[in-house]
Structure 1
Amino acid sequence: MLRLGTENDFDALYPIYMHPTVNPYLNFETMSKEEFLPLFHELITSGTLYVYENDDGQVVATGILCRLERRCSHVVCLTTFATNPNFQRKGFGTRFMRELIEELRKDKRTKRLELYVVVGNEIGLNFYKKLGFQVEGCLRKQFTMIKDGPPVDDLILAMVFD
């Protein structure tokens, strides 16, 4: 079930964000809960936090939608998308994304949803393509997967709504 996330989701989201197979694709390093708490507050105030729960009430996927401003206010960017590694490849990420996309389609202000995928992340790239996203370009040396690591390229993907 898709729902708006709150600060109360911190304990469920922290292990997802810090998991070694998830964290390299997010825009922050692994850190202790105490260190992460202020960053979590920053993240959830930068956009709208969504979580997806399974039938048992466990958080299995999450993402933050950030609406751009002024002349770009029709654009929403998906950031900090992650699926709980214990529930990957079971359809939860797909259901989360489909329901999120449906919510955005209902909002007549939204004409475009965009996101970034690290070049070489074929699993992520194929996942988004199956949902209908199209690659629009490559941002060279856009992202570092580890602190002080070499910059890598990001693909920008988008879905445009009529």
Structure 2
Amino acid sequence: MIRPAQMDDFDFIYALYMHPSINPFLLYEFMSADSFKPIFEALLADEVLYIFSVSDERQNTPAGMFKLIQLKHRTSHIAYLGGVAIDPTFAGKGLGQTMMQEIISLGASKNLKRIELSTSVHNLRAAALYEKCGFEREGILRNYTYLKHEDRYLDEILMSYIF
């Protein structure tokens, strides 16, 4: 199940963004919760941050997150998909594919014609997942992401899903 993120999701979102195995593949450097709070509040205000939940007997438990940012004007038929992550405690259970299928359905409900994303050339599992879900490689974005804490640049694979 996908739903818009809420203020109560701060701890979950912050933990995912700052998780050592997830952070190198996302947009923000490691930072304190206080430093991340204004970023989180801006994402909520822009209504681009979503939670992916799984159901158990009593509740929906957050298991993943993503940003879906619809572009404007002549590119309003496109959305950028970023910040895609599954909580490591749920890894290996097929939830990434389920979340991607729900993201594609969300895009269809918004009448999108294209969803685009980029992923590190080193993030082979993510690239394979995206391809399995129908995304196609379009090229390499050279020196696209700068990891300040490692003082190095990463190339990214540009991918898209066409409806």
TM over 0.5: yes
Q: Say whether the 8 Å CA contact 2:17–2:28 is kept in structure 1.
A: no
1:17 and 2:17 aligned: yes
Q: Which moved more, 1:34-43 or 1:15-24?
A: 34-43
- Give, in angstroms, the shift of residue 145 of structure 1: 3.2
Q: Cα–Cα, structure 1 residues 44 and 97, in superposed 2: closer, same or farther, change >3 Å?
A: same
Q: Distance between the aligned counterparts of 2:159 and 2:47, measured in 1?
A: 19
In structure 1, the residue matched to 2:100 is 97
1:111 and 2:134 aligned: no
1:77 to 77, 80, 85: 80
Q: Say whether the 8 Å CA contact 1:51–1:63 is kept in structure 2.
A: yes
Q: Secondary structure at the match of 2:84?
A: strand
Q: Distance between the aligned counterparts of 1:6 and 1:103, measured in 2?
A: 18
- Give, in angstroms, the shift of residue 44 of structure 1: 3.1
Q: Say whether the 8 Å CA contact 1:25–1:145 is kept in structure 2.
A: no
1:156 to 140, 155, 158: 158
1:30 and 2:30 aligned: yes
The AA in structure 2 aligned to 1:84 is D
Number of aligned residue pairs: 160
In structure 2, the residue matched to 1:64 is 67
Structure 1: stretches of 5+ with no match in the other structure: none
The AA in structure 2 aligned to 1:28 is Y
- Give, in angstroms, the shift of residue 46 of structure 1: 4.2
The AA in structure 2 aligned to 1:98 is Q
